[in-house]
Amino acid sequence: MATAIAPSTPLRKALGETELLWMMAMLMALNAFGIDAILPALDALAADLSVSGNDRQFVIGVYLLAGGLGSLVPGALADRFGRRPILLGAVVVYIVLSILSALAPTYDALIAVRAAQGFFAAGIVALPPAIIRDRVGGDKMARMMSLIFVIFLMVPAIAPTIGEGILQIGSWRAIFGAMAVLGVVMGTWVYLRLPESLTDENRQQIHLRTIGANMGRALALPSTFGYVIGSALVFGALFGFINSSQQLITETFGAGDIFPLVFAICAGSMAFASWSNSRIVERFGARRVSHTALFAFIAVSAVQVMFAFQPEEHLWVFVPLMATNMALLGFIGSNFGAIAMNPFFNIAGAASSAHGFVRMTMAALLGGAIGYAFDGTARPLALALLASGLACLVLVLLSEKGKLFGPSDAEMGMGR
């Protein structure tokens, strides 16, 4: 049954749980569209702006890295001034910088604008978990975040196809124009329908010491630290795939004509996994589900390494393995995030920002390094996937004091 949320005006129908989930998912998808829609246009962009080799990946990498750095800002502001005004501000800036990206005269100018866009758009990603945490905690939050990821991941699955379609009738610049249009749609929806979820008693003062203390608490708790860093590592490997995916599919496997389809299969597998997670997580618990998925992720990554070092790897082998590992990330990501956020109801904004900063910055740096290591084969990516999975397992073991597959948050009495 949907949980009614107080409307911003008495005459307006209350925002229900279903609409809230769709809104939060599409906000996060707006950010994902800013990453994935441009992938099919990297060749055209590189030719138009005289960019060579792996340097074209910076259009993606700098956006991800700046987004990680920007994650430090919106949560603390949202804990003081509320979720709604900070979220609306982030969407407005996203729109303006999308337009400036479309008008960029040089590659250096485009990179500068993309860095600013990633930085200020961080609120679009950092605030939805805080808005959800304002209402629920524990395994229910994991279920809701899984449903959000189902909707959110539909956009990465189709964004390259949309970008390819735009290229058929316009240039790569038109893709940034489409980002601006979608930003206007989302900004209007948030303005008209989203009420403030931060209560007066949970508002925090804007003092550097308070902000630093809150973020420090969100990162220092041993039971959550391993989940934050561990998810950064495995998603860093995913970012490595995103950064190099266009070159990998086009150059290594010679399948550039079906690149949108390949990307859709991989991203779609994450969406299906997130939906499956939403159906089982409250029954089995976020820990049991995510720990099982992590072991499977390591096993599949080992198989990827084996095939990557064969004399000639085939696309029909690479795609099922990559899609399987991306599906497993669907069971890992939302559950790790919910476990890490659960102890921080009173400082959900600061915690979301701190976690987002560490996850995104580390993942973007790692992903950029993996992508830039592209050597015409899938070997750097396969090795990175395996190494990140093993390191993640060690970190989770430390957070759980060596005991995996623990009880659910409800069983532990950790839910709100």
DSSP 336-384: HHHHHHTT-GGGHHHHHHHHHHHHHHHHHHHHHHHHHT--SSSHHHHHH
Region of 51 (left: φ > 0; alpha: ψ -120 to 50; beta: rest) is beta
Contact 200, 324 (CB under 8 A): no
Task: Please identify, in words, the CATH class of the domain defined by 17-405.
Answer: mainly alpha
Secondary structure letter of residue 15 according to DSSP: B
CA–CA separation, 233 and 392 (whole Å):
7
Q: What is the pLDDT of residues 39-94, one digit of tens each?
A: 999 999 999 999 988 899 999 999 999 988 888 888 778 888 989 999 999 999 99
Average model confidence (pLDDT) across the chain: 87
Q: What is the pLDDT of residues 317-342, one digit of tens each?
A: 999 999 999 999 989 987 898 888 88
Contact 76, 349 (CB under 8 A): yes
Residue 6 has a pLDDT of 46
Lowest mean pLDDT among 36-40, 94-98, 119-123, 278-282: 278-282
Burial of 13 (0-12, 13-18, 19+ CB in 10 A): exposed
Lowest mean pLDDT among 99-113, 240-254, 342-356: 342-356
Residue 407 has a pLDDT of 65
Contact 67, 169 (CB under 8 A): no
Q: What is the pLDDT of residues 244-291, one digit of tens each?
A: 999 999 989 999 889 999 999 998 898 888 888 888 888 888 899 999
Q: Which residue has the tokens 């939906």?
A: 275
Beta bridge pairs of residue 5: 15
Beta strands, E only, 86-232: none
Q: What is the pLDDT of residues 195-251, one digit of tens each?
A: 888 888 878 777 777 777 888 888 888 888 899 999 999 999 989 999 999 999 998
pLDDT at 409 > cutoff 70: no
Q: What is the pLDDT of residues 143-166, one digit of tens each?
A: 787 778 777 778 878 999 999 999
Contact 176, 102 (CB under 8 A): yes
Q: How far apart are the first and last CA of the chain?
A: 18
Domain residue limits, the chain: 17-405
Beta bridge pairs of residue 360: none
Instruction: Calculate mean pLDDT across residues 189-194.
Output: 93
Q: Quick one: three-class SS letters along 60-75?
A: HHHHHHHHHHHCHHHH
CA–CA separation, 351 and 211 (whole Å):
10
Spell out the residues 6+ positions from residue 323 whose beta carbon is closer than 8 angstroms to its own: 265, 266, 268, 269
Secondary structure letter of residue 171 according to DSSP: -
Cα angle 153, 154, 158 (rounded to 5 degrees) comes to 120
Contact 214, 347 (CB under 8 A): yes
Instruction: Calculate mean pLDDT across residues 130-151.
Output: 77
Q: What is the pLDDT of residues 308-319, one digit of tens each?
A: 999 888 999 999
